[in-house]
Amino acid sequence: MKISVFGSGYVGLVSAACLADAGHSVLCVDVDVQKIEQLKQGIMPIYEPGLEDLVQRNVAQCRLQFGTDSQAAVKFGKLLFIAVGTPQDEDGSADLRYVLQVAQVIADHLDEYKLIINKSTVPVGTASKVQALIHTTLQRRGSTDAFDVCSNPEFLKEGAAIEDFTKAARIIVGTDSQRVISLMRECYAPYNRNRDKMMFMDVRSAELTKYAANAMLATKISFMNEMANIAQRLGADIEQVRQGIGSDPRIGYHFIYPGCGYGGTCLPKDVKALMHTANQAAYQAQLLQAVEAVNLRQKCWAFETLQAVFSGALSGKTIAVWGLAFKPNTDDMREASSRVLIEALWSVGARVRAYDPKATAEARRLYGERADLELCATQEDAVAGADALVICTEWKQFRALDFDWLRDQLRSPVLVDGRNLYQPQELLAHGLRYFAVGRGESIHSS
């Protein structure tokens, strides 16, 4: 099939590369000229495991091409995927300007049947807006060309996006058209062979499914963080509690790991957007409000722990931070807990020495060169002579640690673990003070 993808961001680029790898002919367009030129040279704008090889291979085999000509993209593909950003507006709503701009380009140049596919994460009712815009424009042009609009939400995890696309648990399509069903089955057939993973539903339900899925994941994380804070104050070990509740098949073990808060673009943005949608429908989503409030509070946990450990005397201290990305296997620092910690440390006069396997360049882009931030080349460099170590991201290379070495590197034997990587008793035996989320030494009296 000939497919055009509008947007070369995270979702657009991964989708374009995976569709091309299945044998489709794909044109991916973006208004960012520099990004497109880099992609043509095989330079990735983001870090995602396996993506660089996937893109370069399919470009070399002429199945994937990049460009900036949106009109050409409308002509090229029978299937037109809209995969542009929907940034959060000031009121928490999703900003649809880029989605509607693409829809307008399609409407202005459509001259034969096209299937327009909303891949971006958009509020309920967006497909109807896109359809109305295109219909109105075609009427004004005096055109009678047919088109369809469907919803095909993405469920890609950063760090595992290629596997999520190629081995998806489900492929959701919102439509009431048999023609659309047939075309979408053909599009995804290469990735739908083991069992039928395609789920067809009405458009509004498909749009809501994306938000509901992310809201549920965020709820599980905030719930476990709430339980961890209770456990800390009661002298219980949240890791033992986690195993106890996870063994219940009605609950399961997925997404019940406490930590220093969730970040990235999806969960924070989508929870706020769903709250805004609910408000517009005259409904107060109290549970979602609590989920967000717990997460915002949890992002302050590491700083508050350091404040308590050093009795508020953090000015002049050097704090080592391992992990800057909001999760492993990405360089994305958007809404990352590390940023809340680092900025809070600066506000009280502390200095930060940070290390991340992939996000160093992003941190430098965000913060520039400043005297109170040293971005280190290795995790060893970051802790040398620091007053304490904080772990914000659970990169695998942090899991096996020489505790005696760490104790000797630090001026104060303090480890604040925002991802619960270690066993408290083991660190205690090596002379380290260990503060984890819902376990380890407590800053609260029980």
Q: Catalytic residue numbers?
A: 266
Q: Are residues 136 and 127 in contact, defined by beta-carbon separation less than 8 angstroms?
A: no
- Reference 243, options 262, 260, 224, 269; nearest CA is 224
Phi then psi dihedrals of residue 275, to 5 deg: -60, -45
CA distance 273 to 93: 5
Token output for 56: 């370069």
Q: C-alpha angle with apex 289: 286 to 294, nearest 5 degrees?
A: 125
Q: Are residues 301 and 234 in contact, defined by beta-carbon separation less than 8 angstroms?
A: no
**Beta 433-436 vs 439-440: how paired, if at all?**
antiparallel
- Reference 207, options 175, 165, 170, 163; nearest CA is 175
Residue type, 279: N
Q: What DSSP character marks residue 394?
A: -
Beta bridge partners of 318: 351
Looking at the chain, the number of H-run helices and the number of E-run strands are 18, 15
Q: Which residue has the tokens 């949608």?
A: 277
CA distance 330 to 146: 41
